[in-house]
Structure 1
Amino acid sequence: MFTGLIEEVGRMQSASKQGEAMVLTIAGSVVLQDVKLGDSIAVNGVCLTVTSFNRSSFSCDVMPETYRRSSLHRLKPGDPVNLERAMLAGGRFGGHIVQGHVDGTGTIVSREADANAVVFRIALDDAEQLRYILPKGSVTIDGISLTVVDTGSDSFAVSIIPHTLAETALQHRQPGAVVNIETDIIGKYVEHLLQFRQGESSRSGASSRLTAGFLSEHGFI
């Protein structure tokens, strides 16, 4: 599990591709301080397993499912990437629950200054994912834990403070760039539970009081 607080911006060194499988080699320093084989490191929000490393870089495998769902296959040597090690059990939880399991990608459609902040609007490749994104809720963009400003029919906006912009690869992202999106896991679990319980009720003929309307009325969603 991760928190969405980026530890450093690394650099892509190489990508060895064979069909929809890849081996990435990424340069870093902070995330390598206590690294071990098998450790998890989020690369642009994608949880990857360290398969080899040296003093200045690490390598990891990318399987076809990750290749298809994320923007990792678009990376080129020299590209900046956001890096975060898995959260320690006794560490500070400064962001939100981030699994590193990307739901899909989105495209930055605008980047506008707003006083000391920068507002990014992102159009989702799969607009169905918007049901998990709500104003003032949490969303992960390229591994960064961010708060949603507003949502539209097929897009949403986030406002970035100067520190976050300066300390992440988002500073290099311009309109047209493709980013990884992970929506809030809590909403996905609530939806799954509701569907499961409704299915049980249909089979048993009983009715459940736990509905989307009930949760909304009592402030859960």
Structure 2
Amino acid sequence: MIFYTAVGNRVEEDSGRFVVRVGEQEKVLSEMETMIWAALTWSVCEEANVHSQMYRLLCIALGKEKAMEWADEEDFRFCLNRLVRRGLVARCEGETKEEALFFLFQRAVLKPICYSFSDRMRNFTDSLAMGKGIKFALRAFQKPTFSYEEHKVFTQIVKNGTISDHLCSLQKETQKVPVAEKQKEEILEQVSQEYLRILVSLYKKKQLVISCIREEGGLEAKERMAAVV
């Protein structure tokens, strides 16, 4: 199955333009691109459902009548493909959303999100403006709860967001274990999957964004990764 998710984080602009930073580059988005990118932020969406997800966001922001005017299929497809080419949306494959993220994260540079009070207030007011209701909007002030493992991995990402580096470190540590080579491979598979599961959990909690996607990843090959349980 093919999935899509947003890449980069929004940059505040006094000019009113919608700007997203991908890696070290800042890119300006058109209105349609902005809606698609926003619909895919912290969301892993099946290819067939991206348009409907964007349409729901348009209905909330603009109302159903204007949303129908905006949601032209041809324009949508053109803008989605353009976002992928520009590195603002990632296309990934897997049997499940989690598996797709597993493979994608192996090539990703992730960035931790550290919300200031002004960030939370802006998220709160944006949610209200989009008609999501006070209960939903108040989530902006909720602090995330981390497990010990999540906190440990989050701290690592603060220092270095290149996931292939961390997977290579796990590989080196596994080589030191005094067991047979086949057992080392099994251990590496287990610890790599667990590490990636923690990253997926942090991503779902909206504590990490995908800063950019690298061309190659250290342990990227799918055959080395077992299917997600």
The structure whose residues are more often helix, as a share, is 2
Regarding TM over 0.5, the answer is no
Q: TM-score, normalised by structure 1?
A: 0.27
Q: TM-score, normalised by structure 2?
A: 0.26
